[in-house]
Structure formats: C-alpha cells, structure tokens
Amino acid sequence: MYCPACNNEETKVIDSRLVEDGRAVRRRRECMACGHRFTTYERLNEKPLIVIKKDKSSEPFDSNKLLRGLMTATAKRNVPINVLQDLIADVENQLRSSNKTEVTSSVLGDMVLERLKKIDDLAYIRFASVYKDFKSIDEFADAIKGMN
C-alpha cells in the first residue's frame, strides 16, 4: 500500500474494522516515512463502479481523477490532502454500500459538493461551477446564497 502523500511503500495499519455488514474492511493507515494518515476500504468481489457522464458515455469511477479535481478546487485554500482523500473514500463508500454499480456524474458531483460545502466555501463554489455547469449568473448567485 503506497502512501498517497509521499509514495513511500511502508505503511502501518492503525485501525481496522468491518463495515457494510462485514462485506468490507475499513483500514486507517499511517505512512512510516511521513506520518500521513489515510483510509482504505477493501472489499470482497468488488464490482466496478461506473460513472455515466452528461453525454451518456461512461467510464470507471476514478478516485485519482476526482482527487485532482478537488485539489484544483482547493488550490491555495490550505485544505489538507487527507481531508480530500477521506471525502472521496466517504463518497465511494456510500455508493458501494448502497450496492450501486452505476452513478451519474451529476449525482456524484452532488455527493462531493455536499461534503465540500462543510470543508471550504470557495472550493465548493469552484467545484460547483465545473460540475453543475451553471447556465446563468443567477444560478451561480443562488448557489452562493445557499451557503450562508
């Protein structure tokens, strides 16, 4: 298991528990080199999770791609990378635990936004402007108002 922060190969498991009625193991890991902590889920017979895009094409769920999007949205906002990784793990886990094998990109975007809103307001707006594809400045203003 490679550390997502520094790519060091040695990590230790600091917590391990069964989740989803025993169908998955959630592990909290810590990097032996940099101390970075992250969460992994291991599942038996894991089915691929497919994302259906707006143009109806599909692609496998890609947590790295999502992480890159979130890192762009949170640029210069000092949001720790492990917070973003936990957000993604939480979204993926919610989808998997509901036994879904397909999700539309807009539902996926909403799930991310719901969590991002609690983390950073500006990142929320940046991410929303990409994912929600705002059609007008009014829609964008509504989203900002909804943040309080």
The type of residue at 103 is V
Encoded one letter per residue, x for contact with Zn ion by CB under 5 A and - for no contact, window 32-51 reads -xx-x---------------
Using the minimum distance from each CB to Zn ion, give the nearer residue, 1 or 49.
1
Using the minimum distance from each CB to Zn ion, give the nearer residue, 82 or 104.
82
Helix (H, G, I), strand (E, B) or coil at 69: helix
What are the start-end ranges of the E strands in the chain? 11-19, 24-31, 37-43, 50-52, 58-60, 102-104
Is the CB of residue 36 less than 8 Å from the CB of residue 30? yes
Span near Zn ion by CB under 5 A; candidates 15-23, 28-36, 72-80, 84-92 = 28-36
The residues of the shown chain that bind Zn ion, judged by CB under 5 A, are 3, 5-6, 8, 31, 33-34, 36
